Amino acid sequence: MYGLIGKMLVAPGQRDAVIDILLQGTGSMPGCQNYIVARDPTDQNAIWITEVWDSAEQHRASLALPAVQQAIAQARPYITGFGERFETEPVGGFGLPGA
């Protein structure tokens, strides 16, 4: 499995709008086991995205999906940058295959 945890920075006052866009545009992504969008409790302009995929290849392929491309295009004007980014190798846990 492949995991990704990343911080997205957004324009002031746009965090909830970007969260809505991300959640609407990512409903069906083949190979995605878990996709969590979270508010950063210490930064009103930051979003954390945690993903678990069957493979890194499926994650890369998801970026070409029309719904994902549309979500990226809609959110792009409000994204001001990216913070930390961590790649992981999930091995199990609640809600994951084999758990």
Please indicate, yes or no, if residue 18 is contained in any of the structural domains. yes
CA dihedral 69, 13, 84, 68 (to 10 degrees): -10
Determine the structural domain holding residue 35 and report its residue range.
2-88
The number of distinct structural domains making up the chain is 1
For the stretch 12-37, pLDDT in tens is 999 999 999 999 866 688 999 999 99
Q: What is the mean pLDDT of residues 44-68?
A: 95
Residue 60, in any domain of the structure: yes
Q: How confident is the model at residue 97 (pLDDT cuts 50, 70, 90)?
A: low
Q: Is 55 helix (H, G, I), strand (E, B) or coil?
A: coil
Query: 72 lies in a domain?
Result: yes
In terms of pTM, does the model score above 0.75? yes
Q: Is residue 98 part of a domain?
A: no
- Residue 93 is assigned to a structural domain of this protein: no
**Closest by alpha carbon to 47, among 2, 5, 15?**
15
Q: According to the model, what pLDDT value does residue 26 have?
A: 67
